[in-house]
Structure 1
Amino acid sequence: MDVSAFPTNAVLSKDEWLKARLELLALEKEETRLRDKVRAARRALPWVRVDKDYVFDTPEGGKTLSDLFAGRSQLLIYHFMFGPDWSEGCVGCSFMADHFDGTLAHLNHHDVTLVAVSRGTLEQIEAYKARMNWQFPWVSSYATDFNHDYRVSFTQEEMQGETINYNFRDMPASEGFEELPGLSAFYRNEAGEIFHTYSTYARGPEEVIGTLMLLDRAPLGRNEDKTMSFLKRHDEYAAKPEQQASSCCH
């Protein structure tokens, strides 16, 4: 953590501090009302029927997208950056995934299933999952077009072009990666029809990362010079600097 820049906050009396805090509270309440408005608009977003068949490689064998719901009506898929030629998962996605296990019981009892999906092979996923000591469901989309269809994986041909389409816009291919992160939501009705209801990319899923939300309330905040520059995999903080990998999500 870089603390070289000493904080320059004013030091005030308790009464003066309270006045400044109340001004911030008004801004925080405005943020909360806007957040509620955004969430309502998100729930009201139109849906798209999913007619394409996908079969994912899982520890229990091949499973369809419908199977991933595990008997529930709602499915959240985290698009975890882990390509088929990678030796380990993305640092930023690993940070996100550190927050999943504690949510599972609550999500599942609220009729929501959470699954991570990567284009890496199941063998790669299982080995890395064991290293990280994670329990959440994580499956491979290696043999499907799923990642490409939901714009989180890109072909060599796309990467050699001028632009790729990510986060609902065209961006220079030179600024992207073959694998990028995201979060997608799906609904399955009683007839078994599946609908894509929402996707978010880049910093969109950031609110899911509770550690960042806590850091935002600490005196020095995230203390980063670029997005998550402080980050390491949770088993790498005690490693020597030359053994620590930077986040592929930066």
Structure 2
Amino acid sequence: MKPKLSIIKIGGNVIENPKNLSHTLELFSQMDGHKILVHGGGKKATEVGNRLGIEAKMTNGRRITDAKSLDVAIMVYGGLVSKKITALLQALGCNALGMSGADANAIHAHKRPIKKVDFGWVGDVDGVNSDGISKLLLAGFTPVFCALTHDGNGQLFNTNADTIASELAIGMSTEFETTLYYCFEKKGVLRDVEDENSVIQHINSETYKALLDEEVIADGMLPKMHNCFHALNHNVKQVCIGDSDMLQKTSSNFTTLTL
């Protein structure tokens, strides 16, 4: 039987709220077994970039990463946000190790091909070094991944943190029974976005199609759900979506996705 692994991705609204971040990291540190944390930092990167006179460029909600923006992402994701989170986890007794995809050759990627839009230095994941990451986990470390990958030739890429979490869960499923958690400000996938209590507690492939047809799942939730089912279709046991309280053993008010 494979050992269990929990992979938790925290969103920008969690990272930007000190009280929420502290609560989330405390719950994360208390989770049993092997675990990995994944974080972004886009809002903070935009803030720091503005201070430096480097304006964030977006198209259809997606970030364009030119050379200067990549430098900001490296500084903010791999430095400012990563080290603050790892220090907070160390204070909670969790032996966190801040990492990018380049560290231990953990996440290999290639530059996204130019189609209708040139996204610049944005990477699409090719693979995960499950053997190397497994050694860190078994040695007692808790990897904390930022949203950076690399191509093995010295080039770093900005890569969507939801995608990194999904690809890590898939890659590590060869060694572990993996569960993926997407932790954000909502209690789960909502049937009515105006009603915080309208959490859909279970979604499978069939109900997912129905929710798409009904346009219950739309807009910003679409790429997140795509990552969820991409993971489930590649040996990830289950995916959970909700706020940080879902990380508690006693919690049940969140969305669980299975095939």
What is the TM-score normalised by the length of structure 2? 0.25
Structure holding more helix per residue: 2
Whichever of the two has the greater Rg, that structure is: 1
What is the TM-score normalised by the length of structure 1? 0.26
